[in-house]
Amino acid sequence: MMTTLRLESGAHRATGGRWPWLRLAAPALVAALLGLPLTAQTPAKVDAAALYKSKCQACHLAKGDNKNANMSFTDGIWRHGSSVKEVSDAIRNGVKGTLMTSFKGKLTDAEIEALARYVRAFDSSLKD
């Protein structure tokens, strides 16, 4: 047996049609189907200094001034490019033929970019 709710003429249109709840549920349904978060999420701020200390400092030293030219960020020589993108790529993919390992899959893109900006700051001649 089916029960029908009778509304005054036009009342169902004023409340959003036959299924007024659908207007509210549709965004959540679409988000769930696409695997999106239901609320806007602000990316967590990356602590680049702590990340550098835990992932980079052993080779590049605390101030980025390793005396090995291939490991220094302070000598003004950027063998693989000095832009944020180029430095990020070196962090993400590593550098073949060197001890620089890939951090792809180990760090998020936000962490990689934060590290790239952080190590560039060791070279006072670079502009952000």
What are the pLDDT digits (tens) for 47-105?
999 999 999 999 999 999 999 878 999 999 999 999 999 999 999 999 999 999 999 99
Mean of the per-residue pLDDT values for the chain? 83
Q: Per-residue pLDDT for 34 more than 90?
A: no
pTM of structure? 0.66
Give pairs for 102-108: CB < 8 Å, separation 24+.
103/55, 107/51, 107/55
Each residue's pLDDT tens digit, 15-32 = 556 666 666 777 776 777
Q: Per-residue pLDDT for 128 more than 70?
A: no
Percent of residues, the chain, with pLDDT higher than 90? 59
Residue 13 DSSP class: H
Q: From CA 97, how far away is CA 56, in angstroms rounded?
A: 18
Instruction: List 111's β-bridge partners, or say none.
Output: none
For residues 102 and 53, the answer to whether their CB atoms sit within 8 Å is no
Which tokens belong to 122? 């060791």
How many helices and strands (H and E) does the chain possess? 6, 0
Place of tokens 């060197």: 98
Domain ranges of the chain: 48-120
Which fold is adopted by the domain 48-120? Cytochrome Bc1 Complex; Chain D, domain 2 (1.10.760)
Which tokens belong to 126? 């670079």
The three-class DSSP label of residue 107 is strand
